[in-house]
Amino acid sequence: FIRTRRNRLKQETFLFEMVPPSGKADIEVDLDSLLQVDEKEPLQRGEIHYIFMTPFSGSTLLARCLDELPQCLVLKEPSIIYQLAYYKRDIVDKYGALSKEWQQCVDLVIRLMERTYSPGQKVIIKPNDESFNIANTLLASRNSSRLLFLYMDLPTFLAQAIKDETRQTWVKTRV
């Protein structure tokens, strides 16, 4: 998580590509300390909703359009959601280990991502396509949360996937 202005956040196509301002060092904080700070300092929070999708389904365009609305704060492919999905898939599900700790991390991440810039703003998170395995967990974390799933049929997906060399390369890395 980095502190940033709303305009900078809107400019980013995907948050996993966002780099902290130069000269800023990474800070490591243990989970217990972060939980205590979060509990002590009530922050402005908004309802949180999700857009899940198959690749090339128009979700980035939808996210950009929603981001133009002042009542929406769109977080496009934040890496922390992918990291939670990866951790669940490769540690929790495989070994049954640390599921309580994983759920605490999910709860904390959601509380941090609920922060908004203005009252009444809704947070919309568009995770990357490798985060499907935690969709139910994210949706169940808040009663008010909603999830939109964008997809397309196979022929349309294949047509989109071969459109240009970048997409073809992306598909090769996934197969």
User: Are 165 and 69 a contacting pair, CB within 8 Å?
Assistant: no
Residues 116-161 pLDDT 10s: 888 899 999 999 999 999 999 999 999 999 999 999 999 999 999 8
Q: Taking all residues of the chain, what is their mean pLDDT, rounded to a whole number? A: 82
Output the furthest CA–CA distance in the chain (Å, rounded): 52
Using DSSP's 3-state secondary structure scheme, residue 105 falls into helix
Cα distance between residue 110 and residue 26, in whole Å: 21
CA 167 vs CA 52, 159, 171: distances in Å: 19, 10, 6
Highest-confidence segment of 31-35, 113-117, 137-141: 137-141
d(CA 14, CA 165): 20
* Tokens coding 60: 């980035």
pLDDT of residue 40: 66
pLDDT of res. 175: 75
Q: Helix and strand tally (H, E) in the chain?
A: 9, 4
Q: What's the pLDDT at 99?
A: 78
The percentage of residues in the chain with a pLDDT greater than 90, rounded to a whole number, is: 40
For residues 80-99, average pLDDT: 83
Report the range of poorest mean pLDDT among 32-41, 43-52, 163-172.
Answer: 32-41
| pLDDT, tens digit, 9 for 90 and up, residues 39-73 | 666 667 889 999 999 999 999 999 999 999 999 99
pLDDT at 1 over 50: no
Residue 148 CA to residue 83 CA, distance in Å, equals: 21
pLDDT at 11 over 90: no
DSSP symbol at 126: E
The pLDDT, as a whole number, for residue 108 is 87
H helices present in the chain, as ranges: 6-11, 31-40, 59-67, 79-87, 93-95, 99-113, 135-140, 154-161, 165-174
pLDDT band for position 171 (cuts 50, 70, 90): confident
Sign of the alpha-carbon torsion through 129, 134, 139, 141: negative
